[in-house]
Structure 1
């Protein structure tokens, strides 16, 4: 990974260039782009230049075309490795992912790993520069530092979902990072929790389209606590977001992923230089005459209740002669250039589901039902409060899990996350995926990373 950048100066040059590109594509945030390029520490000598540096980081996590560890990577690769998506084409590297038979030489792994650590290095450089700068206003320094910590936390969160233990790099020291061994996930999540608490204390609650605020940090923190089975912690974060009144559950499902959606807690600005979002670019068919690259599995389709508006509005069908019918994800609806949609990392519906689960686990069933019914009402389904108000804790948790599956399908790897954190992956996936075994819950580390860093070991079951 470090072959990309070996000096702070090179990084700042790159950040500045990307910041200029990003802000020129779509002025979501009113920041004057830097003139030409930014060198040395100049990026941190004014608010505008510091903003441009962070915009460069945002431009990188949003991806270009290939799915990466944040942008569409979890949606596609975790969707394939679980039971959400089926790949219809012949690319052997993608087939390996779906069949849970991934070789460590698979180029997908290299892209996921290298791009993630490239962005982590950027985030570390930004954080160090913001901390050291005496030229930024305090409010700007706090906000930008909080965003850098949040982005780094989300990168590590997704890396652990793919690979498990990974090197925890929190500085720009090439000497330290180049030979770093894998850090246990427990320590990684300790760092993530600490960073997210810091980030939420630094950032404002202001909503700026294309950027994060303190509620984005709290949403990820609620998810981390869910993984750790810290139900009070998850409920606290989720409840604060809901009670803030900053966000809404939109009744029109077709508006949920639009740019500036009132449901979106953390949404990345559209990349209208090439396409609106990497999700749409990778998931939608390029024309009405071609087979969609990724289609929903019959297993997922069968999870929807009759009349569920989410199935009606968030899936689409490609009819190809003579009788071929393909159902594909349709949450994002614009594949080409434009600014109508922005990629959503967290939205209020997921927060309601986390809140419901945390409450149910603590025995607060009535309140959990109320949270769950908010989404069922929008979906046009019967309310549990009316049909089964005396539902047991076990049955309610099952209902919440089913609701998570149909609300969050093909969205940021949530199905994979749920199966793994509940230790259900082997039980659920083995009957429908013959190659799946206990080692399949982790991807192999890319062989290129192991050859570069001799301190890295491979995951069990892989060479």
Structure 2
């Protein structure tokens, strides 16, 4: 048995209900061992694996987004270590969250794998086990990208262990790929209903192979394999849903959604202000937290768009209006609740860059909306704003008009994989495999849906892909991993984040802070004297 520290939380399952996943069971008169050997019990164990996604993705998203080229702090301060790197160490705020939650997810998955040999053998068991293997592989993929070499634990540990070692990242990647390729033969091939299906596995396999292709131990066929899996996940489906419609609050289960963290109102009734997710809370301006619920959403004023993120968009790009709330009405949520917007009073307007030198446009707009506060281009990114309401441009794509007035209250699904990103994975994979023409065709599928001109072969390169990913995926939980994967984290964060320069990344003995440090809590409990911290850290 490989050894790893497993927290007490990982030793006790929390059966939190997920949409379409979990029905509560009364376990008071049955032992755990007996319960999991029944079909009903194993279904509950599967649901517990899905529930763990909420703990990984549902709270503070620093490890996914902070310290990049696209997001910086506004009114509320980010964790300085993760967002600016100068004070990044093993005890920094937020460093341990992904480590702890992913290993808890792995422990729960290992339990499910263990009981798969003991439970009632049903027609659904193979598919269920394939879903669990996917979820375990996803947790390891997050860990190996974030921390480098990590402990590869595949056994169900039934008592705490205080000694563990690190497995080389190359071996971890090999395990992830083997798990996913096995899962591909096990899961169902139907439409996405909230459970892992073949398309979800193909998408993740494409991303894993793409990521490994950049590593020193990557295989020379990784990029072409990534392209093949991405095309399989695309399956000939075009991007036909308008971008605005794609992100309407009640449209999370549209045909382009490949995999998501599931929520619904019923699943958070026990504590509606704490059991939801915080995606909407973090990616937007502060809009009046003291106002009456429903007049304005409560947001943290952190992870605000940088000037680079705002400048990515060009006139005519449908993603601009679909991503940002350009016109704010007197009651914010009337945007969703009132069909005829022409009758509504506009109180805030955020000027796009293509009108920045057009004084006539500004004069005419203010004349048409005499009560508007007109935010000129260049005055509403994260770097220039005082601590006032509505001072940064508002990311609206995650808005939840039905959420209670609190930070962790959104019951919108968190989209982890969708078809637009699959096309961009394919574009990047084909580019790196040397097939620029096919890669460009995949990227231009994304641009055509956005209503902008095709990119040309002359401008098609890795930087262009990263820019396109920024436009398409703003606020979705990919950016830090994108920059880390492509080796552009230091360059791009230093160039576009106003609080970061290249020296911020210099750590112990001149090593760069590319991977995050192993959390101090794990180090303190480890009795393996040969265990080493990542090179840039004490």
TM over 0.5: yes
CA RMSD, aligned part only? 2.9
1:357–1:72 distance in 2 versus 1, CA, 3 Å: farther
Q: 2:523: which partner in 1?
A: 450
Note the alpha carbon deviations across 1:295-335, whole angstroms, 9 max, x for none: 11112212222332222211236869979621243321117
- Counterpart in the other structure of 2:191: 207
Which residue in the other structure is 1:188 paired with? 172
* Matching residue of 1:436: 505
For residues 371 and 304 of structure 1, what CA distance do their matches in structure 2 show? 19
Contact kept in structure 1, 2:428 and 2:465, CA below 8 Å: yes
- 1:4 aligned onto 2:77: no
Unaligned runs of 5+ in 2: 214-221, 290-298, 329-347, 349-372, 374-386
TM superposition shift of 1:61 = 1.9
Higher RCO (CA-CA < 8 Å; seq separation 6+): 2
For the 8 Å contact 2:282–2:300, the answer to whether it is kept is: no
- C-alpha distance in 2 between matches for 1:339 and 1:103: 31
Which structure 2 residues correspond to residues 207-286 of structure 1 after superposition, within 5 A?
207-229=191-213, 230-243=222-235, 245=237, 249-256=240-247, 258-272=251-265, 273=268, 274=272, 277-284=277-284
CA offset at residue 402 of structure 1?
1.9
Gaps spanning 5+ residues in structure 1: where?
none
- 1:409 alignment partner in structure 2: 474
Counterpart among 353, 361, 375 of residue 424 in structure 2? 353
Instruction: Check conservation: 2:243, 2:322, Cα contact below 8 A.
Output: no
DSSP-derived class of the 1:344 partner: strand
Task: Report 1:22-421 matches (<5 A).
Answer: 22=17, 26=19, 28-29=20-21, 32-36=23-27, 39-63=31-55, 68=56, 70-71=57-58, 75-91=61-77, 94-100=79-85, 101-133=87-119, 135-137=120-122, 139-173=123-157, 178-229=162-213, 230-243=222-235, 245=237, 249-256=240-247, 258-272=251-265, 273=268, 274=272, 277-284=277-284, 287-289=287-289, 292-316=301-325, 325-334=391-400, 336=403, 341-384=412-455, 388=456, 391-392=457-458, 395-412=460-477, 414-421=478-485
Name which of 454, 459, 462 aligns with 2:534.
459
TM-score (norm. length: structure 1): 0.84
Structure (1/2) with the larger helix percentage: 1
In 2, Cα distance between equivalents of 1:381 and 1:136: 52
Provide the rounded CA distance (Å) in 1 between the counterparts of 2:185 and 2:410.
31
Matched residues in 2 for 1:255 and 1:5: separation? 36
TM-score, length-normalised on structure 2? 0.73
For residues 149 and 388 of structure 2, the distance between their equivalents in structure 1, rounded to whole angstroms, comes to 48
The count of aligned residue pairs is 433
1:453 CA drift (Å): 0.9
CA distance in 1, matches of 2:7, 2:235: 46
Task: Indicate how the Cα distance of structure 1 residues 440 and 377 shifts in structure 2: closer, same or farther if over 3 A, else same.
Answer: same
- Structure 2: how far apart are the matches of 1:256 and 1:188? 35
Counterpart Cα distance in 2 of 1:131 and 1:254 = 44
SS of equivalent to 2:263: coil
Q: Deviations over 1:72-105 (max 9, x none)?
A: 65x533321212211224557x133211122322
